[in-house]
Amino acid sequence: MEFFVLFQEASGIGWITLNRPKALNALNASMVEVIEKQLAIWKENPAISLVCIEGAGDKGLCAGGDMRSFYDEKDGDIDQHALDFFATEYRMNHALDTFPKPILVYMDGIVMGGGIGISVYAQNRIVTERTRMAMPEMNIGYFPDVGASYFLNKSPGQMGKYMALSAKTFTGSDAIYLGLADVYMQSEKWQELKEGLQSRNWEPLSTGETTACLSSLIASFAQATPPPSHVAQVQEKVDRYFSKDSICEIFDSLNNGAKEGDQWAEETYALLKGKSPNSLALALEQLKRGKGKTLGECLRMELDMDMQIIHTHDFYEGIRSVLVDKDRNPKWNPAQIKDLTRKWIDSFFISPWAIEQHPLKDLV
């Protein structure tokens, strides 16, 4: 029996180690289920004052959800598979957001998709010089989930749209700028910080005391001036080109920028042109609809979208091209933005459940 998530309790800390290093700690249904269960136990356990999350191996925290499993299950009961995985994963995301004690996450190396979902709701999010973050779902014909409709709307200006649509990879400094991380630290300090965490007894501390003690401990290992954020330098361009409400208008605006000699607009245009038109339109629509919604509402909306996207061509074609055949040469269908209809996009937001029957009905 292999354990893909390790739990340890020591000196008032509950440790969660994602332990599937051969798959970059990608989350499967059983992993998200046990994490959610353990959080529910630790929430009530007065001997636990603090939760710390890290990834096993040297590649990073977590590459995302186990999306390949959908390809393998495509001829089976795909609705059940989607429900088992996504509903449980989103419950875990929500449990992290509402967890009443401080959570520390060590976001070293790869932190993508579902890996952002496991880190973004914590209060002590530590990035390093090795952090590589992305919401890469546009590459696999999917859409940014794990609450992206909620948290991407909180990034500065139009950055959430840019992250979602471009699927670009960002650094630790970028993550802090984007509001997805809190502290920058050299990765060589992590062992020492861990020892610092383990050398004191957190058990008798109140949540307020734990919070204060934790931030001063982390601050003593942090790098006071992180390297500059690259993405901060293109904020004005992102705001100019991505302020539009439709993919057609964003494409037009980038294309015009390119014609006027803006190389960044040209590169971004070329990048977006390679993504699934369906995924691009869905991402834009979910961000629009996510504005002003609670996390629970956003997760319900994303689960509704899941139950439809698992019946589209692009979802399997995207997973095939990135995770199965790895040719990175997907044939999207519909192939062009103009082939999408309003009715088609809107249909993803019609819930297959009556509100009182929704599997995530209890999430606030």
Select the residue interacting with ligand QUE from 39, 52, 53, 63 (CB under 6 A).
63
208 as an active site residue: the answer is no
Residue among 145, 174, 304, 306 flagged as catalytic: 145
Residue identified by tokens 């952002």 is 116
Select the residue interacting with ligand QUE from 13, 18, 24, 52 (CB under 6 A).
24
Kindly give the interhelix angle for 263-273 and 235-242, rounded to the nearest 10 degrees: 60
**Judged by CB, which is closer to ligand QUE: 15, or 142?**
142
- 26 is a contact residue toward ligand QUE (CB under 6 A): yes
Select the residue interacting with ligand QUE from 64, 172, 277, 296 (CB under 6 A).
64
Query: Which residues are within 8 A (CB) of 199 and not within 5 positions of it... i.e. 6 or more apart?
Result: 11
Q: Give SS3 for 136.
A: coil
| Alpha carbon distance 7, 38 (integer Å) | 8
Kindly give the interhelix angle for 159-166 and 247-259, rounded to the nearest 10 degrees: 90
Q: Which stretch binds ligand QUE (CB under 6 A): 58-66, 156-164, 209-217, 270-278?
A: 58-66
| Alpha carbon distance 8, 52 (integer Å) | 10
**Judged by CB, which is closer to ligand QUE: 13, or 167?**
167
Q: Which stretch binds ligand QUE (CB under 6 A): 19-27, 99-107, 241-249, 286-294?
A: 19-27
Q: Identify the bridge partners of residue 133 per DSSP, sorted by sequence position.
A: 111, 170
Q: Phi and psi of 113, rounded to 5°? A: 50, -115
114 as an active site residue: the answer is yes
- Considering only residues 183 through 202, tell me which ones interact with ligand QUE, judged by CB under 6 A: none
The Cα-based distances of 338 to 139, 248, 255, 281, 283 in angstroms read 19, 8, 16, 11, 16
137 as an active site residue: the answer is yes
**Judged by CB, which is closer to ligand QUE: 42, or 143?**
143
Select the residue interacting with ligand QUE from 14, 113, 226, 277 (CB under 6 A).
113
Q: What does the per-residue mask of binding to ligand QUE show for 299-318, with x meaning CB under 6 A?
A: --------------------
CB 27 within 8 A of CB 114: yes
User: Residue 246 Cβ, how far from ligand QUE at the closest point, in Å?
Assistant: 24
| Alpha carbon distance 259, 253 (integer Å) | 10
- 14 is a contact residue toward ligand QUE (CB under 6 A): no
79 as an active site residue: the answer is no
- 139 is a contact residue toward ligand QUE (CB under 6 A): yes
Query: Which residues are within 8 A (CB) of 184 and not within 5 positions of it... i.e. 6 or more apart?
Result: 126, 127, 128, 172, 173, 176, 222, 223, 226
State both tokens at 364.
């606030």
- Considering only residues 312 through 351, tell me which ones interact with ligand QUE, judged by CB under 6 A: 322-323
Q: Give catalytic residue positions.
A: 65, 114, 137, 145
Contact residues toward ligand QUE (CB under 6 A) are 23-24, 26, 63-67, 113, 136-137, 139-140, 142, 322-323
